[in-house]
Amino acid sequence: MAQWRGIVALSQAYQVSPSPILRRRLIEDSEALISFRNLSADFVDDLKSIKTMVFGSLAVFAVLLLLCAVILLVVNQVGVRGRLEVMAHQDRLTGISNREHFIHTSKRANHAVAGALLMIDIDHFKRVNDRFGHGVGDGVLKEVAARLKAEMRQMDLLGRIGGEEFAVWLPSLDVPGALLVAERLRRAIEAPDFPDAGKVTISVGVSGWPMKSEWKASYHRADRALYQAKAAGRNVCRSVEV
């Protein structure tokens, strides 16, 4: 509006001006004002376009940022859930299956296939803790678990039942075959010596586990065989038939 008022004023001045030079100057000023107005309108349009582009880009950026935040949150929750599941299934010290996970998994597997159950006990483990301390004792437990795991098939399951006691589920093996495995495990623990603890041995009890039979019955048989191995002087394997 200010530009139009300026143009009107110049027009009135042009009509009353007696000088040709002044009239030409007024014409030039009028054209300048009109050009300025057109330029101003174009500039405003450009500003509107820039504003639309900027706000549109900001909106897209905000959506992308929100989407990234949601993805990170989901990934983090999945990671936390996975870690919690692992913690619920694993023995905290040795990294193998804990008692609950071992029993649950072996019982479920036994519904599909028969096998054998090993009960393993570290001989005189209390002496290790008393002589060298619980730190060395923890190292022995971890090393025993690692050596046992290294001698087993991928389908076998190793668990820490409690304290210095371990269990092994051997699917598709009968008692004679399981005794061979037990003897191999015993030799793997006996030699070489353990760091900081020297010679460590295990006793092993073996029992068959018929398909779809009770866990407790198989456990008690294997535990009875383990007791016989200890009574025989330890560092031996004994079995109990079904």
Q: Return the CATH number of the domain spanning residue range 99-240.
A: 3.30.70.270
Tokens of residue 162, six digits: 């409690």
**pLDDT score recorded for residue 73:** 62
For this structure, is 164 an active site residue?
yes
- 128: Cα separation from own chain's centroid: 34
Alpha helices in the chain (DSSP H): 2-16, 20-89, 99-110, 125-132, 134-150, 175-190, 215-231
Domain ranges of the chain: 2-84, 99-240
**pLDDT score recorded for residue 241:** 76
pTM of the model: 0.67
Q: Which of 28, 85, 143, 164 is catalytic?
A: 164
**pLDDT score recorded for residue 46:** 57
Burial of 85 by CB count in 10 Å (0-12 exposed, 13-18 middle, 19+ buried)? Answer: exposed
Direct distance between the N- and C-terminal alpha carbons of the chain, in angstroms, rounded to an integer: 106
Read off the DSSP letter of residue 156. Answer: -
| Predicted confidence pLDDT, tens digits, the chain (242 residues) | 544 454 445 445 445 444 555 445 545 555 554 454 554 555 556 556 655 665 666 666 666 666 666 666 655 555 545 454 556 799 999 999 999 999 999 999 999 999 999 999 999 999 999 999 999 999 999 999 999 999 999 999 999 999 999 999 999 999 999 999 999 999 999 999 999 999 999 999 999 999 999 999 999 999 999 999 999 999 999 999 76
Is 239:205 a contact under the CB 8 Å cutoff?
yes
**pLDDT score recorded for residue 209:** 95
Closest Cα partner for 225 from 168, 171, 172? 168
Upper half-sphere CA count for residue 76 (Cβ side, 13 Å): 6
